């Protein structure tokens, strides 16, 4: 059994919970317990019962402790990193009133557009919240609930984000952090607090919201007696404020925004995201101007369709994930769930450029290319938003850190290299969200800065692949089709 202090970093994502039982001294993950979630809904709806998250957290922690052989008395801290933006409404006893509306629920797109107009347009939102509402943002989901289920909105005694809900179950304290709060569109990254004008706009009483901790590593309390019993842990275990999953991944990589831009990251998972830690407050309608978990900023762009969309195309073609080939003329925009970046919430997949000579493997390759192009174009927007030219040789030569499930796939990695023309660094560390949460838990238990913890753990090391010549022909072909598609979706009322 481990003799050094152990912490537990929890990654409560869209599809599952992972609990990384981690050596607090070295950052070595001793075991990862896992438990699945259930997501329901069609026609743009995506919902989950928050009680399933709590049960999954209990199961994942139990599995992790058992697999690692950890004595529960060795555990000193726990932190939750959760999927962002989800809307959790609770009754006075802290029980969910209805299933949570998840980040990828696109039904709130009309509310997002109406809120943007009501405040005076994108610039007004950027000045206050740092982000412009899109369907994924919590404010748009709350407005959807008010419009479509007013009784449920009126009955809410508390409004939480997914990680807030779980942190409160652990500690008994209603608290969030600046990072996850910045994804609501009712928190201001300019003031570091909830914005009364935005709360008034969406008709939300601030008394329903959790307090905002100074950072994700702040110790907000200890495990309650009930939570300790449910998890099989001592009551004295420190509970951190926790944060959103993207903020935790940045901590897990040791990114702290020491300079203008700290290591752009491309994450390939259910969604595709690009982000970087910075001390420069971004202002771009193409980005989510999030706060980071350590007091800086984490500008981020997110696409809805990444690995799951490409896997769906592979399944339709009867191919394996690695059966793709480049070199075809087809362009496939895999917007199977609508799209967030670009903001086309009601779009569908679009395929053009078919020839008699087109092969199934080339079609799958086109799906990879469409997904990667969308992510990399968002990266260019991020760089511009913090004052950097993507074409500048000094900027272009910096490695992209490639994380997420897709980073373990040969075709994903090679497609990113080919379409970016940049060197790529694939970190050795796995489960970066859970590892970042473990660093937050260590900070809560010891008072140490969590980014310094991750740096000490050397989480950023990895395999660096050199740049290859950028495939300008494929890039230009997709760019041309996407420009036409924007107009087509607009004409079709999508």
In this prediction, residue 63 carries a pLDDT of 98
Q: Taking all residues of the chain, what is their mean pLDDT, rounded to a whole number?
A: 92
Domain pair 6-246 / 256-428+461-494, same fold: yes
What is the second-level CATH architecture of the domain 6-246?
2-Layer Sandwich (3.30)
DSSP for residue 102: P
Q: Which pTM was predicted?
A: 0.87
Superfamily of domain 256-428+461-494: ATPase, nucleotide binding domain (3.30.420.40)
pLDDT at 384: 86
Q: Which of 77-91, 342-356, 461-475 has the lowest mean pLDDT?
A: 342-356
Please report the pLDDT score of residue 200 as a whole number: 98
> Quick one: three-class SS letters along 452-477?
HHHHHHCCCCEEEECCCCCCHHHHHH
Predicted pLDDT of residue 256: 75
pLDDT digits 0-9 by tens, 14-55: 999 999 999 999 999 999 999 999 999 988 999 999 999 999
pLDDT in tens, 220-243: 999 999 999 999 999 999 999 999
pLDDT at 316: 97
**Helix or strand or coil: residue 324?**
coil
Instruction: Compute CA distances 65 → 60, 230, 316, whole Å.
Output: 9, 13, 39
pLDDT at 248 exceeding the cut of 80: yes
320-355 pLDDT, tens per residue?
Answer: 999 999 988 999 999 998 887 888 888 899 999 999
Of residues 251, 341, 367, 345, the one with CA closest to residue 298: 251
pLDDT score of 368 more than 90: yes
Q: Give the active site residue among 245, 262, 449, 471.
A: 245
The residues spanned by each domain of the chain are 6-246, 256-428+461-494
Query: Would you place residue 3 in the very low, low, confident or very high pLDDT band (cuts 50, 70, 90)?
Result: low
Q: Is 476 a catalytic residue?
A: no
């Amino acid at each position: 059994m481990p003799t050094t202090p152990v912490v537990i970093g929890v990654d409560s994502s869209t599809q599952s919970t992972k609990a990384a039982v981690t050596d607090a001294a070295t950052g070595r993950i001793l075991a990862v317990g896992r438990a699945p979630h259930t997501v329901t809904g069609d026609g743009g709806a995506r919902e989950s019962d928050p009680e399933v998250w709590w049960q999954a957290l209990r199961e994942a922690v139990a599995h992790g402790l058992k697999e690692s052989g950890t004595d529960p008395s060795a555990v000193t801290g726990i932190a939750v990193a959760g999927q962002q933006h989800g809307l959790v409404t609770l009754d006075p006893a802290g029980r969910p009133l209805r299933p949570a509306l998840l980040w990828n629920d696109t039904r709130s797109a009309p509310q997002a557009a109406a809120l943007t107009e009501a405040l005076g347009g994108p610039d007004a939102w950027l000045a206050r919240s740092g982000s412009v509402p899109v369907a994924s943002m919590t404010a748009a989901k709350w407005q959807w609930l008010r419009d479509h289920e007013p009784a449920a909105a009126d009955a809410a005694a508390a409004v939480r984000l997914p990680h807030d809900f779980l942190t409160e179950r652990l500690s008994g304290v209603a608290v969030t952090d600046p990072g996850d709060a910045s994804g609501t569109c009712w928190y201001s990254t300019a003031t570091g607090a909830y914005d009364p004008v935005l709360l008034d706009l969406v008709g939300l009483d601030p008394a329903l919201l959790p307090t905002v901790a100074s950072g994700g590593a702040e110790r907000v309390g200890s495990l309650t007696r009930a939570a300790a019993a449910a998890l099989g842990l001592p009551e004295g275990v420190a509970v951190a404020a926790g944060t959103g999953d993207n903020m935790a991944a940045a901590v897990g990589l040791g990114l702290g925004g020491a300079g203008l831009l700290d290591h752009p990251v491309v994450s390939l998972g259910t969604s595709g995201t690009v982000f970087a830690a910075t001390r420069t407050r971004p202002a771009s309608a193409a980005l989510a101007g999030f706060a980071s978990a350590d007091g800086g900023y984490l500008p981020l762009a997110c696409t809805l369709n990444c690995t799951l969309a490409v896997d769906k195309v592979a399944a339709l073609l009867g191919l394996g994930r690695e059966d793709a080939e480049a070199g075809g003329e087809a362009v496939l925009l895999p917007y199977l769930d609508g799209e967030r970046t670009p903001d086309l919430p009601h779009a569908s997949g679009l395929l053009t450029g078919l020839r008699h000579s087109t092969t199934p493997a080339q079609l799958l390759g086109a799906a990879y290319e469409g997904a990667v192009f969308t992510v990399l174009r968002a990266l260019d927007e991020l760089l511009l938003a913090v004052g950097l030219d993507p074409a500048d040789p000094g900027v272009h030569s910096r490695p992209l850190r490639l994380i997420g499930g897709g980073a373990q796939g040969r075709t994903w990695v090679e497609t990113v290299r080919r379409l970016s023309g940049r060197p790529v660094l694939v970190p050795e560390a796995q489960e970066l969200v859970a590892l970042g949460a473990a660093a937050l838990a260590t900070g809560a238990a010891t008072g140490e800065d969590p980014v310094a913890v991750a740096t000490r753990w050397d989480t950023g090391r990895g395999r660096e692949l050199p740049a290859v010549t950028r495939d300008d022909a494929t890039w230009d072909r997709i760019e041309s089709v996407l420009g036409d598609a924007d107009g087509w979706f607009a004409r079709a009322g999508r």
